[in-house]
């Protein structure tokens, strides 16, 4: 068989229907071989991906990162325990799903077989008052995965299933991205679930697994994003419902090896440096940066292109301090207004506890919780991160991490910690007898809120200035991707956009299918249901 252009025979996973999206066609320019220099602002997943994509095509790259470590919101850093021992802290647990094709492409640059990731057998969800859901031993392929899950789940009893709105449920299958994003403008995740009339327990399952993992209250979180996530993880992909995690801390397992690879490609990485502004000079862009947290000692970097790969706070700050970045005309002004309108999600807390004894041997590495106050999940790190395993074996203890998402405004930290500890004791009663040997507490509010504003009002990868592009999970993307995968996807796309403008071939990205795996069947079925309802209403009137 001859492979058609733009449709590689190689697949990034197990799903034969994964879709390749080719890069933009290179522009016809006369100086393709000219040296180019790009400054990537932000050393998280999006920034590192963009740097990789550019450097692999021979572009000179400098990455400027505010923190001392790379990885952004998926970074880790060393901490010292009371006995002088060294341990690791991070911003919390991250699941590397098999559908994360573009993120895995980055990781494969230093780990071709992804041996540094280990699979988790399950990620159960328990509800207060009884009931638990499991994702283990579920078929990979839709609709059998969903059918098997519903058949096994205590969240869906016969009475609850009978109440489900079939038309609305078929709407989860009747998708066509990116138009589906705009069709649900102004509709919240909570409203989507209201329309479905899911049983109450199943509603909590959807909220805990999806909406709250976006650090958002379901009433303020985009219903289109919720539908896209159902599509990406359940009904649109045949990669399965399970995921992998790094075998050790993020820095040593993922980002330090990638930093070495980038260095060999000629990339310069500056950590502990904060970008203050990006200005348009007579011939090139000028990126001004200084030591993080300081105003003095600024340094100017000339650049032919800039990738802004920042969290919402950083993006708003840099664009806001960069004058007429994006252009001095109406288009530039409108773009800067869209950036200024990017919202931050509510605060979230991560609490890592080193305990004087072990949790029960049968406890899951990662557990989602529902109905336990602010506690959203519990991780037992010695079950999947090597540094925690070593500490656990040496001290006969456990390293446990608690997460609380979408915290209400004005949450008092002391009360929150007390409540989280109480809920941990309810979920894992054996922990009530254990002492806390050491703790690391983190409270942040720097994730994006994908709210109810029109989808097209969010800034995308392209900007009015062809030399400036955006990347990150803050950025609008036409594909059904989210979280770390959106960061990696937009990182590749940002690099490809600059490469194409300079006459270079890009890389392209992959995604799950953009529409229903069942063709027109869901749409035709919905039409039939609506026609039946309409006829029934006419008869009854």
Residue 188 lies in a domain: yes
Token couple for 487: 């960061």
Residue 266 lies in a domain: yes
376 and 231 in one domain?
no
CATH number, domain with residue 259: 3.50.50.60
Banded model confidence at residue 2, pLDDT cuts 50, 70, 90? very low
485 and 401 in one domain?
no
Give the strand order in the sheet containing 305-308: 268-271, 60-65, 37-41, 305-308, 468-470
Residue 227 lies in a domain: yes
Which residue range forms the structural domain that includes residue 163? 135-241
Let me know: does 118 contact 248? Beta carbons within 8 Å: no
- Whether a cis peptide bond, with omega within 30° of 0, leads into 168 is no
Give me the number of domains the chain comprises: 3
Domain boundary among the residues 183, 214, 241 is at 241
Answer yes or no: is pLDDT of 1 > 70: no
Tell which wins on pLDDT, 211 or 319: 319
Residue 517 lies in a domain: no
Averaged pLDDT, 73-84 = 97
Residue 115 lies in a domain: no
429 and 396 in one domain?
yes
Let me know: does 235 contact 142? Beta carbons within 8 Å: yes
Distance between CA atoms of 20 and 532, rounded to whole angstroms? Answer: 39
Q: Which of 64-73, 99-108, 161-170, 416-425 has the lowest mean pLDDT?
A: 161-170
Residue 378 lies in a domain: yes
Strand pairing class (468-470; 305-308)? parallel
353 and 334 in one domain?
no
Q: CA gyration radius for the chain?
A: 24
217 and 277 in one domain?
no
CATH number, domain with residue 431: 3.90.660.10
For residue 475, give the nearest of 464, 486, 463, 488 by alpha carbon: 486
Residue 98 lies in a domain: no
Banded model confidence at residue 385, pLDDT cuts 50, 70, 90? very high
pLDDT reported for residue 135: 83
331 and 277 in one domain?
yes
Query: Residue for token digits 């000179």?
Result: 60
Token couple for 140: 């990979």
Strand pairing class (299-303; 96-97)? unpaired
Reduce the DSSP state of residue 24 to 3 states and report it.
coil
Domain boundary among the residues 398, 414, 444 is at 444
Query: Residue for token digits 């039409």?
Result: 527
Distance between CA atoms of 219 and 406, rounded to whole angstroms? Answer: 11
CA distances (Å), origin 458, targets 192, 342, 343, 382, 478: 21, 7, 10, 40, 11
CA distances (Å), origin 513, targets 30, 236, 382: 37, 6, 36
201 and 167 in one domain?
yes
pLDDT reported for residue 282: 87
DSSP secondary structure string, 277-314?
Answer: EEEE-SSSEEEEEEETT-SSS-EEEEESEEEE---HHH
Residues 6+ apart with CB under 8 A from 298: 276, 288, 289, 290
322 and 390 in one domain?
no
Banded model confidence at residue 319, pLDDT cuts 50, 70, 90? very high
Residues 6+ apart with CB under 8 A from 341: 453, 457
Task: Share the mean pLDDT of the chain.
Answer: 92
Let me know: does 347 contact 445? Beta carbons within 8 Å: yes
Banded model confidence at residue 281, pLDDT cuts 50, 70, 90? confident
Q: Which of 159-163, 396-400, 506-510 has the lowest mean pLDDT?
A: 159-163
pLDDT reported for residue 3: 36
465 and 326 in one domain?
yes
326 and 469 in one domain?
yes
Reported pTM: 0.94
258 and 225 in one domain?
no
Banded model confidence at residue 505, pLDDT cuts 50, 70, 90? very high
Domain boundary among the residues 241, 264, 282 is at 241
């Amino acid at each position: 068989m001859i492979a058609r252009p733009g449709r590689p025979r190689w697949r990034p996973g197990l799903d034969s229907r994964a879709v390749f999206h080719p890069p933009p066609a290179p522009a016809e320019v006369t100086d393709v071989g000219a040296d180019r220099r790009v400054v990537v602002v932000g050393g998280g997943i999006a920034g590192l991906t963009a740097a990789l994509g550019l450097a692999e095509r021979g572009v000179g790259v400098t990455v400027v990162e505010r923190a001392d470590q790379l990885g952004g919101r998926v970074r880790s850093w060393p901490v010292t325990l009371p006995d002088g021992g060294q341990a690791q802290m991070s911003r919390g647990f991250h699941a590397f799903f098999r559908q994360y094709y573009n993120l895995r492409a980055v990781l494969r640059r230093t780990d071709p077989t992804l041996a540094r990731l280990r699979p988790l057998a399950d990620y159960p969800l328990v509800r207060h008052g009884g009931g638990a859901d499991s994702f283990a031993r579920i078929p990979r392929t839709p609709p059998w995965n969903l059918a098997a899950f519903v058949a096994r789940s205590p969240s869906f009893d016969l009475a609850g299933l009978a109440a489900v709105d079939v038309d609305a449920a078929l709407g989860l299958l009747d998708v066509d991205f990116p138009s589906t994003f705009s069709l649900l403008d102004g509709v919240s995740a909570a409203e989507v679930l209201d329309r479905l009339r899911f049983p109450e327990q199943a509603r909590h399952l959807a909220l805990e697994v999806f909406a709250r993992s976006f650090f958002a209250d379901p009433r303020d979180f985009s219903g289109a994003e919720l539908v896209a996530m159902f599509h990406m993880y359940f009904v649109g992909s045949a990669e399965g419902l399970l995921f992998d995690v790094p075998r050790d801390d993020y820095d040593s397992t993922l980002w330090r090896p990638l930093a070495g690879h980038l260095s060999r490609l000629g990339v310069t990485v500056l950590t502990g440096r904060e970008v203050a502004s990006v200005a348009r000079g007579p011939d090139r862009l000028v990126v001004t940066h200084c030591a993080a947290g300081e105003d003095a000692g600024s340094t100017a970097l000339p650049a032919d292109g800039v990738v802004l790969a920042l969290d919402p706070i950083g993006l708003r700050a840099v664009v806001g301090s960069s004058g007429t970045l994006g252009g001095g005309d109406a288009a530039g002004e409108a773009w800067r207004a869209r950036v200024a309108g990017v919202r931050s999600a509510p605060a979230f807390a991560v609490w890592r506890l080193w305990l004087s004894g072990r949790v029960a041997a049968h406890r899951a590495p990662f557990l989602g919780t529902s109905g336990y106050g602010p506690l959203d999940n519990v991780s037992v790190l010695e079950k999947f991160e090597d540094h925690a395993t070593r500490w656990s074996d040496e001290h006969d203890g456990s390293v446990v991490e608690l997460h609380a998402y979408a915290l209400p405004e004005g949450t008092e930290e002391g009360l929150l910690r007390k409540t989280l500890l109480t809920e941990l004791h309810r979920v894992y009663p054996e922990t009530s007898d254990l002492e806390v040997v050491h703790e690391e507490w983190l409270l942040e509010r720097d994730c994006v809120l994908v709210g109810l504003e029109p989808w097209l009002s969010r800034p995308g990868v392209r900007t009015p200035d062809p030399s400036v592009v955006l990347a990150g999970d803050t950025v609008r993307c036409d594909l059904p991707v989210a979280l770390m995968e959106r960061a990696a996807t937009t990182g590749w796309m940002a690099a490809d956009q600059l490469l194409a403008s300079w006459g270079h071939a890009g890389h392209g990205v992959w995604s799950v299918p953009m529409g229903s795996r069942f063709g027109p069947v869901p749409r035709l079925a919905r039409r039939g249901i609506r026609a039946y309802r309409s006829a029934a209403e006419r008869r009854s009137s």
